[in-house]
């Protein structure tokens, strides 16, 4: 079984086309590590190149849809539908030659995400979901994990931003999970893939503060359609407004909320 609605087909085609130059550019990163200039400018150019392809493909297929993208900002067209794009989520990994990053596209209808794709071009893993039709990894149905005790789980997070206050808050949260619950924690470097891994049952929960909408949009529908929960740190659905997101399987959401609070 697979997802083959017209909207999903548009997203899949756009991801596949944008991934080709991205994979080629990633192959050049190792050569740039030894240069004085470094790979930073190269990665920025690659980011914009991928974004341009995604916007062109999505606009060609649905010219009246609005687009919100990390680099280009908001392209306002028909407000009822909006593409949410992150051309490379995990740019630091990309810049250092670490093969863990993804292309993320979500489609919003009347301010609700109705379908999404997170594509890992290096591993050729396409995580996709559509409202009411389930979540899939390379055409195989995926479900969140069934672990019910936090101490038996593996938890992902993205860590703190540069702000000192943020670091202090994050370290307190990290300490709670690693000392009170003693759950193994991983910092993988790509929020969208973190959420995709929750949906696929590879990890059991993910928490993070101050993410952008394009970091999480596709991941939200993936986790929900795979049977998981997406809330803020208090258990509310206002995770975008409150700038905290918690994605879990269906059994540990409340326990993670208690630890965070």
pLDDT tens for each residue of 84-108 = 999 999 998 998 889 999 999 999 9
Q: How confident is the model at residue 13 (pLDDT cuts 50, 70, 90)?
A: very high
Residue ranges of domains in the chain, CATH in brackets: 6-141 (3.30.540.10), 150-260 (3.40.190.80)
pLDDT at 34 over 50: no
Q: What is the pTM of this model?
A: 0.93
pLDDT at 79 over 50: yes
pLDDT tens for each residue of 142-200 = 999 999 998 899 999 987 766 656 788 888 888 888 887 777 899 999 999 999 999 99
Mean pLDDT to the nearest integer, 62-68: 95
Q: How confident is the model at residue 35 (pLDDT cuts 50, 70, 90)?
A: very low
The beta strand positions in the chain, using DSSP E, are: 65-69, 73-75, 78-89, 102-109, 112-120, 125-130, 134-137, 140-141, 155-157, 185-186, 205-209, 229-231, 244-248
pLDDT of residue 36: 41
Give me the residues paired with residue 73 across strands.
69
* CA–CA dist 204, 198 (Å, integer): 6
pLDDT of residue 31: 65
Distances (CA, A) of 97 to 39, 51, 196: 10, 20, 21
pLDDT at 37 over 50: no
pLDDT at 58 over 70: yes
pLDDT of residue 28: 84
pLDDT of residue 1: 54
pLDDT of residue 44: 81
Q: Which two tokens mark 178?
A: 């690693």
pLDDT of residue 4: 83
Q: Which two tokens mark 62?
A: 């649905």
* CA–CA dist 175, 166 (Å, integer): 14
């Amino acid at each position: 079984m697979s997802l083959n609605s017209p909207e999903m087909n548009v997203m899949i085609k756009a991801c596949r086309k944008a991934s080709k130059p991205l994979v080629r550019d990633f192959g050049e990163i190792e050569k740039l590590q030894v240069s004085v200039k470094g790979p930073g400018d190269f990665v920025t150019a690659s980011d914009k190149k991928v974004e341009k392809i995604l916007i062109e493909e999505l606009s060609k297929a649905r010219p009246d849809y609005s687009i919100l993208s990390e680099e280009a900002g908001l392209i306002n067209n028909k407000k009822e539908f909006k593409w949410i794009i992150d051309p490379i989520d995990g740019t630091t990994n990309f810049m250092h030659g670490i093969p863990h990053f993804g292309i993320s596209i979500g489609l919003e209808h009347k301010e609700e995400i109705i379908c999404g794709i997170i594509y890992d071009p290096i591993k050729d893993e396409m995580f996709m979901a559509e409202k009411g039709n389930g979540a899939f990894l390379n055409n195989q149905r995926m479900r969140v994990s069934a672990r019910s005790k936090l101490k038996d789980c593996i938890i992902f997070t993205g860590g703190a931003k540069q702000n000192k206050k943020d670091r202090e808050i994050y370290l307190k949260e990290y300490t709670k999970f690693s000392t009170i619950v003693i759950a193994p924690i991983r910092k993988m470097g790509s929020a969208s893939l973190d959420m995709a891994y929750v949906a696929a049952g590879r990890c059991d929960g993910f928490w993070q503060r101050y993410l952008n909408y394009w970091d999480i949009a596709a991941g939200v529908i993936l986790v929900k359609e795979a049977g998981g929960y997406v809330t803020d740190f208090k258990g509310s659905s206002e995770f975008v407004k409150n700038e905290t997101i918690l994605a879990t399987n269906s059994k540990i959401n409340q326990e993670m909320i208690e630890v965070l609070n």
